[in-house]
Amino acid sequence: MPVLKNVELTKKANIYFDGKVTSRSFVDEKGIKKSLGIMMPGEYTFGTNEAEHMEIIAGKVEVLVACGDSNWETYGPGEYFEVPANCSFDIKVIEITDYCCTYIG
Amino acid sequence: MPVLKNVELTKKANIYFDGKVTSRSFVDEKGIKKSLGIMMPGEYTFGTNEAEHMEIIAGKVEVLVACGDSNWETYGPGEYFEVPANCSFDIKVIEITDYCCTYIG
């Protein structure tokens, strides 16, 4: 199991949608802002301030990125999707999902 | 907001009770094993292999430690309880709870 070394981990959780989505923010050893989170089954919409790279560690989601020419796409373990800054995405969580979000600008 | 520096953070989440309890394991800069977790409202029983110090960061729980002379006690933000090794505790999560568990041997 991968371990992320030399991380600065924020103690308090981020809690969204009454706890159906929660995450822990950290800064990796290269200074890149990331979060590790859990999404319970359901449908959610998230806006982005910065562009995001969303890696699915475990679970299954369907995603529609609001900006650009995009369609609903399905992602599972080891797959990822990216969302531009100042955009939003709809996500249907089919199975409880463990994810890693990297803020890429 | 406290930030924990020089942490080794395990990427994959720990998922219990169909995701109603989830946590992230890490080792702090002193080499002490800890986890940060979220408990959704509900009632759970956890066994301990090692003794645990459970700090409530946010939320509200009622706890009964199975070993020793203990009663149901209520804990909120900034409070903690401890559970001996090879014991168990029942926990009623009244409000979604953000916690930090330290394994104290």
Domain ranges of chain A: 8-103
Residue B77 gets which letter from DSSP?
Answer: T
What would the two tokens of residue A36 be?
A: 């590790």
CA–CA gap between residue A26 and residue A14 (Å, rounded) = 11
Give Cα separations from B57 to A48, A59, A64, A79, B82 (angstroms): 27, 27, 34, 32, 15
| Chain B interface, best mutation among A1, A6, A8, A11, by max B CB count within 10 A | A11
Indicate the class that CATH gives domain B8-103: mainly beta
Confidence of residue A104 (pLDDT cuts 50, 70, 90): very high
- pLDDT value, residue A96: 98
CA–CA gap between residue B41 and residue B59 (Å, rounded) = 10
B65 Cα to chain A: minimum distance (Å): 25
- pLDDT value, residue B105: 79
Closest Cβ–Cβ partner in B3, B58, B98 for A9: B3
B73 Cα to chain A: minimum distance (Å): 23
Task: Answer for the pair A22, A13: CB distance below 8 angstroms, yes or no.
Answer: yes
Task: Read off the pLDDT of residues A27-82 as tens digits, 9 standing for 90 and up.
Answer: 999 999 999 999 999 999 999 999 999 999 999 999 999 998 889 999 999 999 99
| Mean pLDDT per 10-residue interval, chain B, length 105 residues | 94 97 98 98 97 98 92 97 97 98 93
CA–CA gap between residue A40 and residue A97 (Å, rounded) = 7
What would the two tokens of residue B14 be?
A: 């720990």
CA–CA gap between residue B74 and residue B47 (Å, rounded) = 19
Chain A residues with at least one Cβ partner in B under 8 Å: 1-13, 15, 18-19, 22, 24, 26, 36, 38, 40, 57-58, 96, 98, 100
Overall residue count recorded for chain B in this entry:
105
Task: Answer for the pair A35, A14: CB distance below 8 angstroms, yes or no.
Answer: yes
Nearest to B44 by CA among B72, B20, B69: B20
pLDDT at A4 over 90: yes
Query: Which residues are within 8 A (CB) of A90 and not within 5 positions of it... i.e. 6 or more apart?
Result: A43, A44, A45, A63, A64, A66
Is A19 in Cβ contact with B36 (below 8 Å)?
no
- pLDDT value, residue A10: 98
- pLDDT value, residue B94: 98
Is A5 in Cβ contact with B4 (below 8 Å)?
no
